[in-house]
Chains A and B, each alone.
Chain A
Amino acid sequence: MPAIVPTTTAKTDAPAASSGSSQRRSRTAYLLLLPGLGWLGVFFVIPIATLFFTSLQAPVEGRSGVYQAAFQISNYAQALGDYWPQFVRSFIYAGLATVLALVIAYPLAYFIAFKAGRWRALMLVLVVAPFFASFLLRTYAWRTILADEGAITTALNALHLLPEDRILNTSIAVVLGLTYNFLPFMILPLYASLEKIDPRLIEASGDLYARPFTGFRKVVFPLSLPGVVAGTLLTFIPAAGDFINARLLGAPGDSMVGTAIQVNFLQFRDYPIASALSFILMAFILVVVFTYIRRAGTEDLV
């Protein structure tokens, strides 16, 4: 027995030393993560939890704008009952804007990735450049472009294409605004995944008797799917929560769920209803997102 003891310690010595150093390494990792993740914990996770608790609060009798802890699930029923049109509008508007943005963005992303040559860097700068100009002012500028006496509305009216004889202050304007605002979020991920495709693949598909459009459908588009997924998410999420476009470009009847949340929080001070609306919106978005994640894996998306 005594002879075995030193042997075993000698054998376990090396792994013990290396696991000690990997423990030290992971301690460094946790120290690096601590401030940032701590911040997200306190100012993202806890607020979401608070939002949930607030959404169940009940009003204090006789004092408007003051609420107390409760378990009032009926807040959710009330929120959905009162604001289901806003939810429906949000998802229809955001969905339409996402599809429109995809259709508009794809040719540009394709061109930058495969045809732009030495203009590529410049074109990418130009795609990002709108971010340098104020979001609110750019949105507000559409009031000028789509104005009732403006060239676009007049021309379309002459052709009798507009159901309400105008664009501004209709849902069309809201969808157009959403499409415009989040277009770069569609272009950039599309470009990133198109750029990784070897252009010789397109030539190869042509060589193998695929007509240009078939080659696109069978080769390029499937390979760009990660970009399509990322782009649609990055467009749909902010569009579904937006209330700026509905307010600046739409009529009061075009309000979206973001409008309802903002108004309930900041004007009516009906915190439980506002929180319930916010929580439902987040839950819905997360369901959409995680259906995608199941296909891509978290590491890919971050």
Chain B
Amino acid sequence: MRWLRRNIIGIIAVLVLVYLFVPIAVVAVLSFNQPEGKYNVTFNEFSVSAWQNICGVPGVCESFALSIQIGLLATVIATIFGTMIAFALVRYRFRGRDSTNLLIFLPMATPEVVLGSSLLALFLNITFPLGFWAVTIAHIMFIVSFIVVAVKARLQGMDPRLEEASRDLYASPRATFRYVTFPLVLPGILGAALLGFALSFDDFIITFFNAGTMVTFPVYIWGAAQRGIPVQVYALATLVFFLSLVLVLVVQGVNARRRRRLEAAVASS
């Protein structure tokens, strides 16, 4: 009983983590299912056929590739724009800072359904064609704010003396940016870009309003939910999940090992 009281927070914490992963486990398990009817909801019979033939259902892999394409394009542009804004906010004094902050903040405080529907209202009024470019434009718009926040945090965390030291050591403003500021902020920018890509790739609501007849991966799943989602979709989602998780864990592990090596080196010297 005392053990329980002492560890109660830890137990709840682990249970919450488990809770976060239960639906993902369900998705992974169902990717090995041979569903009885058209709905892949209850486990029927073990099968690897979806995995062996992951593009076997028409449209699945096409929509997947389309989502990656839009994600990459939107991420690159939004990362450039967002990084520029973050630099302006952290490094410069200018009039209109408060309005700028507000304009960055508002898209994050607006429900996606409003973002998506308002853009649709604009596109309908100016008869801009829905589809690839409409969706890419929308994604850049809603990712930019997240990029600004992430890069800004990184910039603010940087010791201003590093740039002063660079100027003190004969580096012009341009050289200081190139040799000190940029290399130090780059990990933050890459992290922000990764976040942006994940947001774009998985976005459904904004996309759904502006896609017209175009089918991204989430739009495909939405449409399929009515008539039964193919097992291949479960397999693809499981694959993406585990690949991303392994990638992040490997990066984490490398960082942790490097940190331990550094500590050992300092201790021994």
Binding site for B on A (CB under 8 A): 22, 25-26, 28-30, 32-33, 35-37, 39-41, 43-48, 50-51, 53-54, 104-105, 107-108, 110-112, 115-116, 121-123, 125-145, 147, 149, 180, 183-184, 233, 237-238, 240-244, 248, 257-258, 261-262, 265-266, 271, 274-275, 278-279, 281-282, 285-286, 289, 298-299, 301-302
Q: How far is the CB of B13 from chain A (nearest CB, A)?
A: 4
By beta carbon, the residue of chain B nearest A132 is: B244
Contact with B113, one of A53, A126, A278 (Cβ below 8 angstroms): A278
B264 at the interface (CB under 8 A from A): no
Q: How far is the CB of B136 from chain A (nearest CB, A)?
A: 11
Contact B105 A47 (CB under 8 A): no
Q: How far is the CA of A233 from the CA of B115 in the complex (A)?
A: 17
Q: How far is the CB of B92 from chain A (nearest CB, A)?
A: 4
* Contacts known (A43-B137, A122-B252); A54 close to B21, Cβ less than 8 A: no
Contact A54 B24 (CB under 8 A): no
Contact with B148, one of A36, A41, A116, A274 (Cβ below 8 angstroms): A36
Contact A47 B118 (CB under 8 A): yes
Q: How far is the CB of A247 from chain B (nearest CB, A)?
A: 8
7 interchain residue pairs of minimum CB distance = A241-B111, A29-B92, A36-B81, A111-B13, A47-B118, A141-B23, A132-B244
Which residues of B have CB within 8 Å of A39? 81, 140-141, 144
**Residue tally, chain B, CB below 8 Å to A:** 86
Interface string of B25-55 (1 = CB under 8 A from A): 0110010000000000110000000000000
Contact B109 A237 (CB under 8 A): yes
Contact B30 A43 (CB under 8 A): no
Q: How far is the CB of B237 from chain A (nearest CB, A)?
A: 5
Which residues of B have CB within 8 Å of A110? 9, 13
Q: How far is the CA of A302 from the CA of B95 in the complex (A)?
A: 18
B198 at the interface (CB under 8 A from A): yes
B76 at the interface (CB under 8 A from A): no
Contact with B109, one of A233, A242, A243 (Cβ below 8 angstroms): A233
Binding site for A on B (CB under 8 A): 9-10, 12-13, 16-17, 19-24, 26-27, 30, 41-42, 80-82, 84-85, 87-88, 91-95, 98, 100-107, 109-115, 117-122, 124-125, 137-138, 140-141, 144-145, 148-149, 152, 198, 202, 204-205, 208-209, 217-218, 221-222, 225, 229, 233-234, 237-238, 240-241, 244-245, 248-249, 252, 256
Q: How far is the CB of B145 from chain A (nearest CB, A)?
A: 8
Contact A135 B9 (CB under 8 A): no
A interface secondary structure, majority: helix
Contact with B26, one of A45, A108, A144 (Cβ below 8 angstroms): A144
Which residues of B have CB within 8 Å of A29? 88, 91-94
Contact with B121, one of A50, A122, A136, A147 (Cβ below 8 angstroms): A50
Which residues of B have CB within 8 Å of A112? 13
Q: How far is the CB of B48 from chain A (nearest CB, A)?
A: 19
By beta carbon, the residue of chain B nearest A55 is: B121
Contact A278 B117 (CB under 8 A): yes
By beta carbon, the residue of chain B nearest A277 is: B117
Contact with B12, one of A28, A43, A108 (Cβ below 8 angstroms): A108
Which residues of B have CB within 8 Å of A257? 113
Contact A47 B82 (CB under 8 A): no
Which residues of B have CB within 8 Å of A104? 16, 19
Beyond A29-B88, A108-B16, A132-B198, 12 additional pairs, beta carbon < 8 A: A25-B94, A26-B95, A39-B140, A50-B121, A129-B241, A135-B204, A137-B23, A141-B26, A144-B42, A180-B23, A183-B16, A302-B104
